[in-house]
């Protein structure tokens, strides 16, 4: 683990869109990345100048075309909206730049395909943070253990709803929770479960519902659209032949292995040894270290570092792709 000031080789990065999300999550993460922030671009000139001053960035623009023409960049961090991402990403790719962009990459599948068509040999990574979270990466590792066997079913619980007037929403380009945040639980379930071949959604008459995922592996996923959920807002369970893996609140991972059990005779829930039972991992909070920092537990560092590594090593990403 290195800090920005310690890297010998750093990417020259322009940031497009410095709103509250970028200011709160993306810019602070650059403290730990092999990057040099050389230019900012945003329509809000006051925020632009204030943020540039804070980060020591000397070149500010309100138009991306001018930034690309005047600055020598290796790539951009794009953090605007799914309605603006496609045009801005294609423009950057056509200018010869690599692109990291926030989720979701677009509001329509056709616009994702358009970005794929413009990508060429350049690197594009989308910030599907659940696919990069330490907790979900641990779950992915655990379900691949030999003793796990086949993944049978996946259960996700997430506070979510799907608009009843879906076609109207699509036609009007209105922002909604399903578009903005539905990709979070879906990316968590798909990163562990693999590609999906069929989707069925059943809506409750009062909000919420279920989204059934049929994975190519034969596993079945159930995303419970828990519109009334309160408290910790998500949980994922992965049920395999030999183990059961659970992720709670993005920070706690539990491997349930079970114990030797006979219905009529077992009388001890904590048998000797450590080869059975459950194991949990969760960050400690008594020290101000990176393992419990939200920039790391949420996945921001992993996704941005992955992009940087792909660019520096000139390798195409396999995680957080446009195809994902």
Residue 138 CB contacts under 8 Å (≥ 6 apart), including other chains: 247, 253, 281
Most distant pair of Cα atoms in the chain: their distance: 77
Per-residue buried b or exposed e for 238-255, using 16+ beta carbons within 10 Å of the residue's own CB: bbbeebbbbbbebbebbb
| pLDDT for 241 | 97
| pLDDT for 61 | 99
Cα–Cα distance between 299 and 319 in angstroms, integer?
13
What is the helix (H) or strand (E) element at residue 91, kind and residue range?
A: helix 85-94
| pLDDT for 82 | 95
Which domains does the chain show, CATH number per domain? 4-128+298-313 (3.40.50.720), 134-292 (3.30.360.10)
| pLDDT for 166 | 79
Yes or no: say if 111 and 170 are a contact pair by the CB < 8 Å rule: no
| pLDDT for 181 | 93
Written as tens digits, the pLDDT of the chain (324 aa) is 899 999 999 999 999 999 999 999 999 999 999 999 999 999 999 999 999 999 999 999 999 999 999 999 999 999 999 999 999 999 999 999 999 999 999 999 999 999 999 999 999 999 999 999 999 999 999 999 999 999 999 999 999 988 888 788 888 888 888 889 999 999 999 999 999 999 999 999 988 999 999 999 999 999 999 998 888 789 999 999 999 999 999 999 999 999 999 999 898 899 988 999 999 999 999 999 999 999 999 999 999 999 999 999 999 999 999 999
Yes or no: say if 27 and 18 are a contact pair by the CB < 8 Å rule: yes
Cα–Cα distance between 16 and 25 in angstroms, integer?
14
| pLDDT for 169 | 83
| pLDDT for 175 | 86
| pLDDT for 168 | 86
| pLDDT for 172 | 84
| pLDDT for 124 | 99
Yes or no: say if 234 and 250 are a contact pair by the CB < 8 Å rule: yes
- Burial environment of residue 132 by CB neighbours within 10 A (0 to 12, 13 to 18, 19 or more): buried
- How many other CB atoms are found less than 10 A from the CB of residue 181? 16
């Amino acid at each position: 683990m290195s800090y920005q000031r310690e890297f010998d080789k750093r990417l020259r990065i322009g940031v497009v869109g410095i709103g509250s999300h970028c200011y709160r999550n993306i810019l602070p993460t650059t403290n730990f990345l092999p990057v040099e922030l050389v230019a900012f671009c945003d329509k809000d000139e006051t925020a632009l100048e204030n943020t540039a001053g804070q980060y020591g960035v000397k070149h500010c623009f309100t138009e991306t075309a001018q930034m690309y023409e005047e600055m020598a960049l290796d790539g951009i961090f794009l953090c605007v909206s799914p309605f603006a991402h496609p045009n801005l990403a294609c423009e950057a790719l056509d200018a010869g730049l690599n692109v990291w962009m926030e989720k979701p990459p677009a509001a329509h599948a056709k616009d994702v395909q358009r970005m794929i068509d413009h990508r060429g040999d350049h690197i594009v990574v989308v910030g599907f943070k659940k696919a990069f979270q330490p907790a979900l990466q641990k779950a992915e590792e655990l379900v691949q253990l030999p003793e796990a066997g086949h993944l049978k079913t996946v259960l996700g619980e997430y506070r979510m709803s799907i608009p009843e007037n879906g076609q109207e929403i699509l036609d009007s380009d209105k922002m909604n929770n399903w578009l903005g945040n539905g990709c979070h639980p879906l990316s968590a379930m798909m990163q562990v479960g693999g590609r999906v071949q069929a989707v069925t959604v059943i809506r409750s008459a009062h909000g919420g519902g279920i989204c059934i995922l049929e994975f190519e592996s034969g596993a079945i996923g159930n995303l419970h659209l828990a519109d009334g959920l309160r408290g910790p807002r998500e949980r994922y369970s992965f049920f395999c032949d030999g183990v059961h893996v659970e992720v709670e609140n993005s920070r706690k991972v539990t491997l349930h292995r079970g114990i030797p059990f006979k219905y009529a005779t077992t009388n001890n829930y904590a048998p000797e040894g450590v080869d059975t039972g459950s194991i949990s991992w969760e960050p400690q909070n008594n020290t101000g270290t990176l393992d419990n920092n939200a920039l790391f537990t949420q996945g921001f560092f992993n996704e941005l570092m992955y992009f940087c590594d792909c660019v520096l090593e000139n390798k195409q990403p396999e995680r957080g792709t446009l195809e994902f």
